[in-house]
């Protein structure tokens, strides 16, 4: 059963998983005394070099993976989680709260017979993280399909407004950011699983556990491929949306251009009969004014009909 450690209390010797959330220095020292190894600091697990994220020191494996967080609150981000595998104990160090770790902890507590070693606990935890990532990708894929239908449906095309395009572009951008974070998380998980599969300084996993790691590696790789597919689809939708915005802008410019051309003949006629000449016979005609109005209307209608016949409108 899980227990929350209080300062001054001894750590239970039977504990196989110690989860440190924003640990104080006192908590770090207590865990270090329990496992006989150093606990990585926040700066240590924030390093981006692979050599600083995956290494073995005195028979203890130190690993760091980036895990998705904040999905439920629609504020996605990455939280670096440090893993320390010292003998039969697993220590996780994190300064954020990925939901997957909470869900995994609750699930383990309900099991009659949970993992019995730190290695088994680590494999189960990685499996839960990869499964959670797959669920997130499935959700993103559904939202991307819905966005695609919204963009290319005929009714929405007729009723779409400029602000709708802006909302679509913002939605596509958010999904693109989430997929970028997902890819980064999967890359770090793939490297971590590959690191565990190999033997370093005589420290390695058993045959059965290596088989489980191979399955995890295959799952992570397939999710990376799916992430690339969704990223390509996001890029296509973004290009299509921007193209539609450009087409609508061109239609608007064409409309103004056509209107200008249509109004040029009436303007010419009005300008002609607005000139101050002493001898303009049409000015003295009884039907001169209606005739001028009719000429202006006809000079506007004729270009419009021509444009329609040519398919320019």
Q: Report pLDDT digits (tens) over 287-302.
A: 778 887 888 888 878 8
Q: What is the pLDDT of residue 186?
A: 95
Core vs surface per residue 58-71: b (16+ CB within 10 A) or e: eebbbbbbbbbbbb
Q: What is the pLDDT of residue 230?
A: 93
What pTM does this model have? 0.76
Residues of the chain with pLDDT > 90: what percent? 31
Q: What is the pLDDT of residue 154?
A: 66
Q: What is the pLDDT of residue 58?
A: 85
CATH 1.20.58.340 in the chain, residues? 17-248, 249-310
Query: Residue length, the chain?
Result: 313
pLDDT over threshold 70, residue 311: no
pLDDT over threshold 80, residue 272: no
Q: What is the pLDDT of residue 200?
A: 64
Q: What is the pLDDT of residue 179?
A: 94
Yes or no: say if 37 and 84 are a contact pair by the CB < 8 Å rule: yes
Q: How many helices (H) and strands (E) does the chain have?
A: 9, 5
Q: What is the pLDDT of residue 11?
A: 74
pLDDT over threshold 60, residue 116: yes
Q: Domain 249-310 carries which CATH code?
A: 1.20.58.340
- Closest of 124, 106, 107 to residue 115, by C-alpha: 124
256 — pLDDT class (breaks 50, 70, 90): confident
Question: Could you give the CA distance from residue 182 to residue 224 in angstroms, rounded to a whole number?
Answer: 8
- For residue 236, report the phi and psi dihedrals to the nearest 5 degrees: -60, -45
Yes or no: say if 231 and 183 are a contact pair by the CB < 8 Å rule: yes
Q: What is the pLDDT of residue 176?
A: 92
pLDDT over threshold 70, residue 162: no
**Mean of the per-residue pLDDT values of the chain:** 83
Question: Could you give the CA distance from residue 158 to residue 149 in angstroms, rounded to a whole number?
Answer: 14
Q: Domain 17-248 carries which CATH code?
A: 1.20.58.340
Q: What is the pLDDT of residue 106?
A: 83
251 — pLDDT class (breaks 50, 70, 90): confident
Element (H, E) at 86: strand 77-86
Q: What is the mean pLDDT of residues 26-37?
A: 87
- Closest of 267, 261, 272 to residue 302, by C-alpha: 261
Q: What is the pLDDT of residue 83?
A: 94
Q: What is the pLDDT of residue 285?
A: 75
Q: What is the pLDDT of residue 198?
A: 81
């Amino acid at each position: 059963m899980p227990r929350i450690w209080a300062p001054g209390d001894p750590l239970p010797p039977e504990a196989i998983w110690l989860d440190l959330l924003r640990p104080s220095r006192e908590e770090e020292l207590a865990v270090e005394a329990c496992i006989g190894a150093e606990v990585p600091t926040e700066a240590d697990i924030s390093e981006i070099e692979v050599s600083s994220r995956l290494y073995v020191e005195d028979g203890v494996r130190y690993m760091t993976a980036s895990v998705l967080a904040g999905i439920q609150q629609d504020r996605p981000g990455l939280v670096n989680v440090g893993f320390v595998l010292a003998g039969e104990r697993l220590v996780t160090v994190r300064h954020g709260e990925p939901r997957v770790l909470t869900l995994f902890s609750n699930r383990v507590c309900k099991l009659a017979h949970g993992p019995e070693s730190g290695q088994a606990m680590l494999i189960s935890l990685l499996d839960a993280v990869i499964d959670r990532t797959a669920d997130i990708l499935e959700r993103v894929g559904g939202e991307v399909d819905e966005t695609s239908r919204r963009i290319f449906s005929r009714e929405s095309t007729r009723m779409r407004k400029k602000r709708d395009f802006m909302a679509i572009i913002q939605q596509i951008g958010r999904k693109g950011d989430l997929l970028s974070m997902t890819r980064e998380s999967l890359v770090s998980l793939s490297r971590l699983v590959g690191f565990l599969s190999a033997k370093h300084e005589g420290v390695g996993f058993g045959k059965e556990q290596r088989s489980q790691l191979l399955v995890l590696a295959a799952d992570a790789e397939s999710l990376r491929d799916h992430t690339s597919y969704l990223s390509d689809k996001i890029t296509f939708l973004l290009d299509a949306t921007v193209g539609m915005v450009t087409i609508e802008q061109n239609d608007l410019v064409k409309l103004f251009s056509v209107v200008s051309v249509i109004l040029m003949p009436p303007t010419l006629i009005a300008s002609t009969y607005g000139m101050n000449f002493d001898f303009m016979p049409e000015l003295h005609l009884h039907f001169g004014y209606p005739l001028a109005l009719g000429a202006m209307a006809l000079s506007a209608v004729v270009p419009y009909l021509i444009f329609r016949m040519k398919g320019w409108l």
